Amino acid sequence: MNHLSADGRAVRFSANAVRVARLDEVCMLRVHSGRVWVTQEGLAEDFWLAAGDDMIALPGCLIVLEATRDSEVRMTPLSVAMLARRPSWSVQLAGMCRQWWRKPQRAGC
């Protein structure tokens, strides 16, 4: 298992490889190739992302990605300006935050 950083660089990993991260800020996870399963601490749903898909990753919570085939992903910190340019990201982030705040807080998240 390897760690994934939010430095905006593309990261390649092979089928069945697992990457983990605990982010310091809101980030955009984008899949450039392949397919990955994503789960994030504090959210009820898991996500399947394929090439071209993206999602918002919340800060402070553990996020785990597993590639179902050779994949390339990029984790990029989001600024307020970026969120303003993409209203759909703001809506996604607001929904995730509502879901997260409704849950009892656990240690580490």
Which residue segments constitute the domains of the chain, with CATH numbers given?
A: 2-102 (2.60.120.10)
What pLDDT does residue 1 have?
A: 52
Asked which of 2-11, 23-32, 47-56, 71-80 is least confident by mean pLDDT, the reply is: 2-11
Q: What pLDDT, in 10s, does the model give residues 17-67? A: 999 988 888 888 899 999 999 998 888 889 999 999 988 888 888 899 999
Residue among 8, 82, 75 at smallest CA distance from 38: 75
Report the C-alpha gap between 18 and 104 in whole angstroms: 27
